[in-house]
C-alpha cells in the first residue's frame, strides 16, 4: 500500500514527471508531487492513473515562483479526487490542468491557486463527480479560465470557478458542454474583474440555479457579468433560477 509514485523536491530545481503508461495505487495517491518554497516548476504528464481511495494525480506546490502544470492523456480516477493541482498563498505562479481523457472521483478536477497567478482548467473527456464538485478552478488574484466538455456531479455543483481575493482584477471565464449538478455552473469573484459564462450544451441543476454568476465586490461597476447560451440548448433548474446574476 502507498502512493504509486511519490516525489518530494527539497531543492531549487524543477520537477518533471512523465509516465505514459498506466499507473495507480491502493492506499495512496496514484502520483503525488510536493516541493518547498525554493522549488521551481512542477510538470506532470501521465497516461491513465487510478487510486482506489485517495487522489489520482496530486501535484501541490509550495514554490514562491514556480508553476504547476498537469497534462493527463489517459483516464484518471481517484477514490477522493481525480486530479488535484495547486499552489500556496505566497505563490506567484500559475496552475494549469489539461485532461484529455475521462476524470472521475468524489471530486473531479480540483485546481486551486491560492497565490496571485492564473488558473486554467481544460477538460476534453467527461468529468464525473459524486459528492463533490466536478471542476473547481480557483485563484486569489489572477484569471480563472475553465474550458470543459461534459461535467456532472450528483452531490455538488458541476463547475465552480472563482477569484477569491477582494479587489483583485482577475477575470473568471467558463465555457462548458453539457453540465449537471445540484447547481450547474457557479462563476464568482470578490474583485473588480469581469465574469463570463458560455453554455454550449444543456445545463441541469437538481437543487439550485442552472447558471449562477455573482460579483461580491460592493464597489459600483466592479466588473461586468456576461452569460450566453448556445442556440438549441436548454437550462433546467429545480428549486432555483435558470440564470441568476448579481
pLDDT per residue of the chain (246 residues) written in tens, 0 to 9: 799 999 999 999 999 999 999 999 999 999 999 999 999 999 999 999 999 999 999 999 999 999 999 999 999 999 999 999 999 999 999 999 999 999 999 999 999 999 999 999 999 999 999 999 999 999 999 999 999 999 999 999 999 999 999 989 999 999 999 999 999 999 999 999 999 999 999 999 999 999 999 999 877 667 899 999 999 999 999 999 999 999
Gap between the Cα atoms of 123 and 135, Å rounded: 9
Q: Cβ(201)–Cβ(232) under 8 Å?
A: no
To 5 degrees, how large is the angle CA 140–CA 142–CA 147?
Answer: 105
CA distances (Å), origin 179, targets 11, 92, 137, 152, 157: 42, 31, 16, 6, 9
The pTM of the full predicted model, rounded to 2 decimals, is: 0.97
Contact 89, 115 (CB under 8 A): yes
Joined together, the cell numbers standing for residue 173 give: 471565464
DSSP 14: -
Cα(217)–Cα(138) distance, integer angstroms: 17
In the sheet with 151-153, reading across from the earlier edge strand, the strands are 23-25, 49-51, 76-78, 103-105, 127-129, 151-153, 179-181, 203-205, 235-237
Amino acid at each position: 500500500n502507498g502512493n504509486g509514485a511519490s516525489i518530494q523536491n527539497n531543492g531549487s530545481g524543477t520537477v518533471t514527471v512523465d509516465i505514459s503508461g498506466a499507473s495507480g495505487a491502493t492506499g495512496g495517491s496514484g502520483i503525488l508531487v510536493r516541493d518547498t518554497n525554493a522549488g521551481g516548476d512542477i510538470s506532470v504528464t501521465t497516461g491513465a492513473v487510478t487510486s482506489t481511495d485517495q487522489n489520482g494525480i496530486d501535484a501541490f506546490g509550495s514554490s514562491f515562483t514556480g508553476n504547476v502544470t498537469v497534462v493527463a492523456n489517459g483516464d484518471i480516477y481517484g477514490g477522493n479526487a481525480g486530479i488535484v493541482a495547486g499552489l500556496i498563498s505566497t505563490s506567484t505562479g500559475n496552475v494549469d490542468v489539461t485532461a484529455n481523457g475521462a476524470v472521475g472521483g468524489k471530486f473531479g478536477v480540483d485546481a486551486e491557486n491560492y497565490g496571485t497567478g492564473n488558473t486554467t482548467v481544460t477538460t476534453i473527456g467527461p468529468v464525473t463527480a459524486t459528492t463533490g464538485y466536478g471542476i473547481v478552478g480557483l485563484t486569489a488574484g489572477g484569471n480563472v479560465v475553465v474550458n470543459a466538455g461534459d461535467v456532472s456531479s450528483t452531490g455538488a455543483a458541476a463547475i465552480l470557478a472563482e477569484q477569491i481575493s477582494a479587489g483583485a482584477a482577475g477575470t473568471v471565464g467558463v465555457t462548458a458542454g453539457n453540465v449537471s449538478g445540484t447547481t450547474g455552473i457557479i462563476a464568482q469573484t470578490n474583485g473588480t474583474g469581469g465574469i463570463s459564462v458560455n453554455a454550449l450544451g444543456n445545463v441541469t441543476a437538481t437543487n439550485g440555479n442552472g447558471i449562477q454568476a455573482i460579483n461580491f465586490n460592493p464597489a459600483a461597476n466592479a466588473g461586468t457579468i456576461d452569460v450566453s447560451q448556445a442556440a438549441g440548448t436548454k437550462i433546467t433548474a429545480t428549486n432555483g433560477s435558470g440564470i441568476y446574476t448579481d
